[in-house]
A and B are shown apart, each in its own frame.
Chain A
Amino acid sequence: MPNDATASGSGSRSRSTRIMDDAKMERTIARLALEIVEQNKGTAGLVLIGIRNRGVPLAKRLAEKIAATNREKKSPPVGAVDITLYRDDLTSIFEAPMVRSSDIHFPIDGSVVVLVDDVLFTGRTIRAAIDTVMDYGRPKAIRLAVMIDRGHRELPIQADYVGKVVPTRISERVDVLLVESDGADEVVISEASAAPPPAPAAASPARKASRPDRKDESGKKKRKTSASKPGRKSR
């Protein structure tokens, strides 16, 4: 890829760099699907649960690829979890984020749950997702598949299936964009400080004007001043 950003960026990275295009993402998802089926020795007992937002379409795509890999064309059930109610930073973020529904419409007792998310960062989202899943039953195992592992873990959590390891600076942000939600498939890395964080006082009315969605959440993160606060959701 022409503009494939090399990981150990000591020099200044341009404001936003594409590190994966649609073809590469498709190949990566196909590989992750194969790895999951290989380690699970088939699709028996396998369920995929996407973490809202981007994890859900990724989980669906993984399920399609998994269906294509096995002889019976069997697609594992796909669910969704919203981790908002399990966040560990509800007392440090200024206002309660919108909750969206979790949707696990199949029993997970004894199954192998593969959690799917776009970016593995601090690990706090995954911790919350594991707690959420546990409230639905007792799976035999919980595994983790992510598109991008960008480092900077704050909890002892590792992914079992990784699309791409991308070492980053803490000040950068990594966005996995998907056709389903963003109109195109690509992974973009950018400098989070490109837009100066507004002062907290000035931030509040702006936040009220344009609400939820991931875009806003990321803005909120920036406004949360220091990027190394434990509050932010891993991206």
Chain B
Amino acid sequence: MTHNRPLGRKDLLGIAELSRPEIVKILDTAETMWEIGERPVKKVPTLRGKTIINLFFEASTRTRFSFEVAQKRLSADSVNFAAKGSAVEKGETLVDTAKNLMAMAPDAIVMRHPNPGAPHALAEAIPAAIINAGDGAHEHPTQALLDAFTIRRHFGRLEGLKVLIVGDIAHSRVVRSNVHLLRKMGSEVVLCGPPTLMPVGIESLGCETSYKIDEVIPKCDVVMMLRVQTERGAGTAFPSVREYSRLFGLNRARVAKMKKGGIVMHPGPMNRGVEIASDVADGERSVILEQVTSGVAVRMAVLYLLLGGAGEE
């Protein structure tokens, strides 16, 4: 089966397998999609008649709503599935669930799953386009794309920028996708966090590491804060939340050390007072809410590029 879709692929499973031209194409298309969000009528008929299933096996607000808004703006029909209250609780396997959904002939499935690789398994099992909306600690490609889109809007480029990512590196799929994407686009990435939350050998992804935020923050154009994922056991990696906040939290004093014109990002959900101080989250360098708006544009671009053509007819 050949897939001559604009992305040269049927699915969007991760950033690792995307080429630089593909990334540029998604970001450029997202610029156009952004403009639709500013029109009086925020809807285009492009994906009329396409059915998209949002298959979420894990909690999500931002990502799911963002995908839903993107689908509605492109006139696709979307159906939501939450694992709670579904046949999954009765012991149905992932592939069986998907095959049953496939019998309803969706054109795409947007999927979040706690197990890394789950969307890949599904992509091989069924013909619909699979969009990974986060698989365990592996990848979250649309988040990385929207982060890059937001950075590009602010700096006009990605090449040569230095991006600092701080926090729970070990449990973050956002980090993996972001490192892959930023490296491909010519940015430098510095990862920072407590040693207990920093996987051994993470440098092999092509980034610097540091355990001292104060040493690296003045060199960076972008500071991206991550949430401590206590639901994945990160709470035991340091003695106390207060200590974590003091050593790695982004507060006003640290923001003052940032480069001029630097921006503060957070993929959400934030824990105010833990990894980011409230006044920083709402401060003038924060682009956190803009990231959410970018998310809709980027997801519209991905949906269009995966579903816009007729595919292998």
A100 close to B (CB within 8 Å): yes
Complex: how many Å from CA A159 to CA B49?
31
Binds B, one of A12-20, A91-99, A117-125, A145-153: A91-99
Contact A204 B4 (CB under 8 A): yes
Contact B5 A100 (CB under 8 A): no
Identify 9 residue pairs between A and B in the complex whose beta-carbon atoms are under 8 Å apart, listed by A's number: A85-B45, A85-B46, A85-B74, A86-B45, A90-B310, A95-B309, A95-B310, A131-B45, A135-B39
List of A residues within 8 angstroms of B29 by Cβ: 98-99
Residue of A nearest to B29 (CB): A99
List of B residues within 8 angstroms of A86 by Cβ: 44-46
Q: 10 tightest CB-CB pairs across the interface, nearest first?
A: A96-B308, A95-B309, A135-B41, A85-B44, A96-B309, A85-B46, A101-B32, A204-B4, A99-B32, A96-B6
Classify chain B's interface size.
20 to 34
Contact A135 B43 (CB under 8 A): yes
Contact A95 B35 (CB under 8 A): no
Contact A101 B31 (CB under 8 A): yes
Complex: how many Å from CA A208 to CA B309?
14
State how many angstroms separate the Cβ of B22 from the closest Cβ of chain A: 11
Chain B, residues 277-313, CB within 8 Å of chain A (1/0): the string is: 0000000000000000000000000001101111101
Contacts A135-B40, A136-B40 known; A208 to B8 CB distance under 8 Å? yes
Within the complex, which residue of B28, B304, B310 is in contact with A93, where a contact is CB–CB below 8 Å? B310
A61 close to B (CB within 8 Å): no
Complex: how many Å from CA A90 to CA B33?
17
List of B residues within 8 angstroms of A101 by Cβ: 31-32, 35
List of A residues within 8 angstroms of B46 by Cβ: 85-86, 90
Contact A137 B44 (CB under 8 A): no
List of A residues within 8 angstroms of B44 by Cβ: 85-86, 135
State how many angstroms separate the Cβ of B308 from the closest Cβ of chain A: 3
Q: Which of B1-49 contact A (CB under 8 A)?
A: 2, 4-6, 8, 25, 28-29, 31-33, 35-36, 39-41, 43-46, 49
Contact A93 B309 (CB under 8 A): yes
List of B residues within 8 angstroms of A164 by Cβ: none
